[in-house]
Chains A and B, each alone.
Chain A
Amino acid sequence: MGALLTVDDVHVRYGDLVALREVSLSVAQGEVVCIIGPNGAGKSTLLAAVAGGVTPWRGAIRFGDVDVVGIRPEVVARQGLSLVPEGRHIFGTLTVDENLRIGGFIHKGRADAKADYERLLELFPRLRERLNFPAGRLSGGEQQMLAVARAVMTRPRLLLVDEPSLGLAPRIVDQIYEILLDLRRREGLTLVINEQSSNRILKHADRIYVLRGGRIQLEGRAADLADGEAIRSAYFGFGSPATLEGVAP
C-alpha cells in the first residue's frame, strides 16, 4: 500500500529552539495514526509543518505525489489535506453556517459543496440547530464539532486533528471520536490524531507514534502496544513505576 503522507527526516527550528529533529513517519491510505506525547513534545509543530503552516528547516514532506515543503497552507489544503488545529480556531464572529461554508469555498461551483453541507449537518445535528448563531457562543464541544465539520467541508483525503479532547468532557470526546471514525468508515478518510494521553486512542488507532522532546521515541501497531508498557517508557523517557499506572498514557 502506497503511503499517503511521508515525513522524512524533518527538522523544525524556531530561532535557536529546535522543535522537531529527525522526525520521520508515514501514513498509509485509510489508516488512523495517532501521535502521542507530552505537552511541548512538538506534536502541534509536526502537524503544522505537514499542513504548510511551518516550514521545516530540513527534511522532506510528501503528500500523495506532491512535495509540500515550502508550499503555502492554502495550496496544501487544495491538495486534499485539512488540519483541525489545537484550540479549534473557530471564527467566533462568523455564524456557524459561515464557518462551515468557508471550508466548502475550495469547491466553489461544484454542486456537491451543498451536498457536503447537508450531509455534515446530518452527522452534527447540534450544529444544525445553531446555524445562525455566532460560532463564538457555542460550547467547547460544539466548537470542536464545528471545527471538524468545517475541515471535512474541504473534502480532505487526509484529516489532521490536533488534540481533539483538549478541555472537553470525556462524554463529548467520545462523541467526537465516534464521528471521526464514522467519517473514516463512510468517506475513506485517513486520520492523523494528536493526543496527550493514549488510553482512548489505543482502541481506535491502527498505529501509534510517541513523540517526546521533538523526536520520535517509539513507533508501532496499536495492537502490539496495547498493554501500554512500551508507550509509558517512551513517553516519560524512563521505566514506568507502577504508581504512574493510569496517569498519563
Chain B
Amino acid sequence: MIAFLQNLIDAVSLGSIYALTALGIGLLFGILRLINFAHGDYITIGAYALIVPSADVTARLMIGELPLVVMTPLICLIVVVVALLSDVLVFRPLRRASSPTLMIASFAVSYIIQNGVMMFYGARPKAVDLWSGANTQILIGDLRVPMLQLIILVVTLVLMAALTLFLRKTPYGIQMRAAAEDFRMATYLGVRGNLVIGLAFAISGILAAAVSLLYTTQSGSLSHTMGLPLALFAFVAVVVGGMGSLVGAVVGGFAIGIIVTMLQAYLPPELRAFRDAFAFAFVILVLLVRPAGLVPSRTTFERV
C-alpha cells in the first residue's frame, strides 16, 4: 500500500510536468490550430538559460545562481521572448497556412533551437545542480515525499488556477476563448488577432519556463534534446485529453504521467524497456473507445 502511494505521488508529479507542457501546446492549438512541437525546445531554452554558455561538461550556474524571485521572472522573460520571436518570425508569416504546414514549420523551429543550443553549449549532456535542497524528503506518516514533488504539484495547481482565472475573468481571457472557438468571428467583433495569438505564445512561454525550472531541478541534467520527450508525451496528452480542450490537456497530462509511472513500477522487469510501447498502446485503446479524447472540446450542442 505504501509502495503504491509512493508510486502515485511519483505519477502525479510526472503528470504535473506533462500537464503543464500539454497546457502550453493545447493553448496554441486552440487558437491557431498549430501543433507546436517547438514547445519542448522552449523548455530546453529556459533550462540552458540557467547556466553560463560554454561547451564544458560541468555547467556553471549563471541566472540559476540568482535568488528565486529574480531567477524565475528572468527565465520566464527569456522563454517568452523566444516564443514570441518564433511567432513573429515563423508563424505570423504563415497565418493563412494550413494546420499541417504550421506543424512542419514548428519542427523547423524546433531543430533551429536545438542546433542553436548545441552551437553555444555543446552537444554533450551537462550535469547541473539547480536546487539540491529541494530533494529533502518530508515524512507524511510512513510516506517519504520529496519536497520537490510537492512543489511541482503546488506550482502546477497555482499556474492552472491562474490560467483559469485569466481566461474566465479578464477581457483578454474572454477574447482568447472566443478566438479559440471562432477566430474569424472574433476578429469581426474587433478582437485583435495578432495580439491574442501573441498572448497565447507568451502564456505558453511562461508555462514552458515553469517546466524548465521544475524539470531541471528534478533531473539535474541538461541536454539539447531534453524538451523532445516532454513535447512528445505532452502532445500525446493533448490528443488523449481531446484536441482543443484545455481541461482535456490537463486530464491527458495527468493520465499519461500516471500510466507511464505505473507501468514503470509494475511491469515485469524484462518488459520495462518497452514501457513506452505499452503506454502508447494504451493511448491507441483510449482513442479507439473515445476518438474525440477523454474531454471532447465541443461540449455544447448546437440548436437551430
Contact = CB atoms under 8 A, between A and B. Distances in A.
Interface string A95-117: 00011011101101000000000
Interface in A62-96: 72-74, 77-78, 82-83, 85, 89, 91-94
Interface in B206-233: none
B81 interface: no
Given A72-B193, A92-B181, A102 B187 contact: no
Nearest to A73: B187
A108 B303 contact: no
Interface stretch (A131-139, A184-192, A199-207): A131-139
A82 B184 CA distance: 13
B175 A134 contact: no
A43 interface: no
B304 interface: yes
B182 A89 contact: yes
A143 B185 CA distance: 14
Contact of B190 (A78, A92, A140): A78
Contacts of B187: 52-53, 72-74, 77
B301 A93 contact: no
A74 B300 CA distance: 26
Given A74-B190, A89-B185, A102 B178 contact: yes
A2 B193 CA distance: 32
A89 B182 CA distance: 7
Contacts of B190: 74, 77-78, 103, 105-106, 154
Contact of A101 (B171, B188, B302): B171
Contacts of B177: 91, 93-94, 98
A167 B178 contact: no
A136 B175 contact: no
Interface residues of A, number: 35
A73 B95 CA distance: 14
A140 B301 CA distance: 12
B299 to A, nearest CB: 7
A85 B182 CA distance: 12
Nearest to A74: B187
B189 A102 contact: yes
Given A74-B190, A137-B303, A105 B181 contact: no
Contacts of B178: 91, 94, 98-99, 102
Nearest to A51: B188
Given A72-B187, A74-B192, A105-B191, A138 B174 contact: no
B300 A85 contact: no
Contact of A140 (B174, B185, B304): B304
A211 to B, nearest CB: 21
A85 B189 CA distance: 11
A134 B181 CA distance: 13
A50 B302 CA distance: 28
A237 to B, nearest CB: 30
Of the candidates A53, A74, A99, A103, the one having the most CB atoms from chain B within 10 angstroms of its own CB is A74
Nearest to A101: B174
A140 B182 contact: no
B85 to A, nearest CB: 22
A51 B174 CA distance: 22
B186 interface: yes
A83 B190 CA distance: 11
A212 interface: no
B189 A154 contact: yes
A138 B301 CA distance: 10
B185 A85 contact: yes
Contact of A53 (B175, B182, B184, B303): B184
Contacts of A150: 189
12 contacts: A53-B188, A72-B187, A73-B188, A74-B190, A77-B190, A78-B190, A89-B185, A98-B177, A106-B189, A136-B303, A139-B303, A154-B189
Which 3 pairs show the lowest CB-CB distances between chains A and B?
A: A136-B300, A77-B190, A92-B300
Interface of B: 171, 174-175, 177-178, 181-182, 184-193, 299-304
Given A92-B300, A137-B300, 10 more contacts: A78-B190, A91-B178, A93-B177, A94-B177, A101-B171, A103-B189, A103-B190, A105-B191, A136-B302, A140-B304
